[in-house]
């Protein structure tokens, strides 16, 4: 299989439309000269497939691990990957998908930054006969035929697991006031985590979410939000944070104020980055819910099936664990993110 130097494992970051067009032009020029591509129609069974992958950005250690998982799996399975980093902008993702269509990739895989607003571009992909795999975050669409399937996290279950830990932790407490650090607004993972969390707690009157605001899954915003909250909100017993990045920022803000995280305030966080597991072991976090970023091998397997014209399951949730202060934490394997 021909290897294209522009289909490397290094993230390509496009900061301006001109740069984007320039790089794509070079990309098309190099690819059209590659012997492997010109032989595609003659010997399809000997060719590697081409997958266009639109990632949302590099906002967290979790995201970087997810990107590396996809890139490494592509290399290992002989798939040529066109990776585009959307730098947290939906419009960049739409442009990326259009460029994949123009290039006639075999399969498009993308992580939708928010749930809504993909129908038009997915209609274009469908019109071009290119199957689309949605991964990590889900979409809301009026036409389910616009994508072949989804693989990723079960965010509702993550939210339920967070609530179930609080039920156990506060079984004898009279009142539990919760501050929620919300992920990116309109993203399926943030909305799902919030929904699952409330679904469980709605039957327990002593629990209430007294404050909820988006920190966009960013550590810096977690710090800013918590600093602001501590200057305005009177008292709360627990923090439910939608990701470890925001949690780590919040821990800094709490400590600056002389508040002992994990002791003066109970903290539940999602992702299970190494830093969060370390904080759990140090008693600064009380519960860590895994969100599994290592979906690359499954994505490649599904993409190969789609390229071969096979159908795939509509919905695949990855396996995820829960780590709490009640568990034996000595056996947790290094997280790699
Ligand atoms: O979509 C998954 C979420 O996105 C992860 O929880 C978070 O860390 C990332 O930014």
Best residue among 65, 193, 216, 291 to mutate for probing ligand 1, ranked by most atoms within 8 Å of CB: 291
What strands, in cross-sheet order, belong to the sheet with 80-85? 80-85, 50-55, 107-110, 132-135, 149-152, 315-317
Q: How far is CA 34 from CA 2, 5, 30, 88, 241, in A?
A: 7, 10, 6, 32, 47
Q: Which residue has the tokens 């970087």?
A: 64
Percentage of the chain beyond pLDDT 70 is 86
Q: By the 8 A CB rule, do 329 and 285 touch?
A: no
Q: Where in the sequence of the chain do the CATH 3.40.50.2300 domains occur?
A: 13-152+293-318, 155-291
Q: CA dihedral defined by 79, 83, 88, 91, rounded to 10 degrees?
A: -100
* Residue 274: band (very low, low, confident or very high) from pLDDT cuts 50, 70, 90: very high
What fold, for 13-152+293-318?
Answer: Rossmann fold (3.40.50)
Q: Is 291 in the pocket of ligand 1 (CB under 6 A)?
A: yes
Give the distance (Å) from ligand 1 centre to CA of residue 42.
42
DSSP H/E element including 145: none
Give the distance (Å) from ligand 1 centre to CA of residue 136.
8
What mean pLDDT is predicted for residues 176-181?
98
- Tell me the two tokens of residue 121: 């571009």
Give the distance (Å) from ligand 1 centre to CA of residue 221.
14
Give the distance (Å) from ligand 1 centre to CA of residue 79.
25
pLDDT at 20 over 80: no
Best residue among 191, 217, 247 to mutate for probing ligand 1, ranked by most atoms within 8 Å of CB: 217
- Tell me the two tokens of residue 204: 């327990």
Give the distance (Å) from ligand 1 centre to CA of residue 217.
6
Q: Write down the pTM of the prediction.
A: 0.87
Give the distance (Å) from ligand 1 centre to CA of residue 63.
6
Listed residue (281, 252, 275, 251) closest to 65, CA to CA? 275
Q: How far is CA 185 from CA 113, 188, 189, 190, 321, in A?
A: 9, 9, 9, 7, 25
Q: Is 337 in the pocket of ligand 1 (CB under 6 A)?
A: no
Q: Is 240 in the pocket of ligand 1 (CB under 6 A)?
A: no
The Cα–Cα gap between 109 and 74 comes to: 12
Q: Is 243 in the pocket of ligand 1 (CB under 6 A)?
A: yes
pLDDT at 77 over 50: yes
pLDDT at 23 over 90: no
Q: Which residue has the tokens 């967290």?
A: 60
pLDDT at 323 over 60: yes
Give the distance (Å) from ligand 1 centre to CA of residue 140.
18
The lowest-confidence range among 25-29, 101-105, 185-189 is 25-29
Q: Is 193 in the pocket of ligand 1 (CB under 6 A)?
A: no
Strands 107-110 and 132-135: parallel
Q: Is 60 in the pocket of ligand 1 (CB under 6 A)?
A: yes
Give the distance (Å) from ligand 1 centre to CA of residue 184.
9
Q: Is 118 in the pocket of ligand 1 (CB under 6 A)?
A: no
Q: Is 138 in the pocket of ligand 1 (CB under 6 A)?
A: no
Residue 334, classified by CB atoms within 10 Å of its CB into exposed (0-12), middle (13-18) or buried (19+), is: exposed
Q: How far is CA 315 from CA 148, 194, 283, in A?
A: 9, 20, 36
Helix (H, G, I), strand (E, B) or coil at 153: coil
pLDDT at 207 over 50: yes
Helix (H, G, I), strand (E, B) or coil at 158: helix
* Residue 234: band (very low, low, confident or very high) from pLDDT cuts 50, 70, 90: confident
Best residue among 271, 273, 290 to mutate for probing ligand 1, ranked by most atoms within 8 Å of CB: 271
Q: Which residue has the tokens 């695949």?
A: 316
Give the distance (Å) from ligand 1 centre to CA of residue 58.
10
The Cα–Cα gap between 22 and 77 comes to: 29
pLDDT at 258 over 60: yes
Q: Which CATH number fits domain 155-291: 3.40.630.30, 3.30.70.1140, 3.40.50.2300, 3.30.420.40?
A: 3.40.50.2300
């Amino acid at each position: 299989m021909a290897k294209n130097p522009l289909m490397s494992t290094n993230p390509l970051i496009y900061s301006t439309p001109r740069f984007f067009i320039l790089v794509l032009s070079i990309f098309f020029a190099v690819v059209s000269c590659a012997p492997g591509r010109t032989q595609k129609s003659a010997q399809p069974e000997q060719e590697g497939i081409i997958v266009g992958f639109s990632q949302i950005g590099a906002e967290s250690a979790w995201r970087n691990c997810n990107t590396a998982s996809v890139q490494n799996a592509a290399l290992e399975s002989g798939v040529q990957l066109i990776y585009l980093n959307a730098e947290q902008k939906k419009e960049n993702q739409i442009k990326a998908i259009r460029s994949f269509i123009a290039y006639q990739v075999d399969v498009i895989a993308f992580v939708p930054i928010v749930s809504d607003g993909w129908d038009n571009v997915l209609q274009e992909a469908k019109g071009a006969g290119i199957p689309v795999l949605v991964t990590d975050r889900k979409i809301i669409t009026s036409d389910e035929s616009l994508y072949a399937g989804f693989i990723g996290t079960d965010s509702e279950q993550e939210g339920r697991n967070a609530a179930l830990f609080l039920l156990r932790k506060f079984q004898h407490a009279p009142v539990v006031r919760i501050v929620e650090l919300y992920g990116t607004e309109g993203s399926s993972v943030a909305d799902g985590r919030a929904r699952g969390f409330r679904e469980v707690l709605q039957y327990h009157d002593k629990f209430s979410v007294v404050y909820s605001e988006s920190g966009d899954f960013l550590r810096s915003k977690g710090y800013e939000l918590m600093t602001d909250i501590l200057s305005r909100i009177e008292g709360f017993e627990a923090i439910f944070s939608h990701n470890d990045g925001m949690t780590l920022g919040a821990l800094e803000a709490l400590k600056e104020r002389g508040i002992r995280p994990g002791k003066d305030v109970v903290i539940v966080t999602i992702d299970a980055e190494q830093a969060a597991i370390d904080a759990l072991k140090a008693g600064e976090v009380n519960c860590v819910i895994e969100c599994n970023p290592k979906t690359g091998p499954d994505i490649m397997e599904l993409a190969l099936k789609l390229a071969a014209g096979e159908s795939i399951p509509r919905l695949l949730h990855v396996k995820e664990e829960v780590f709490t202060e009640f568990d034996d934490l000595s056996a947790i394997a290094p997280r790699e993110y």
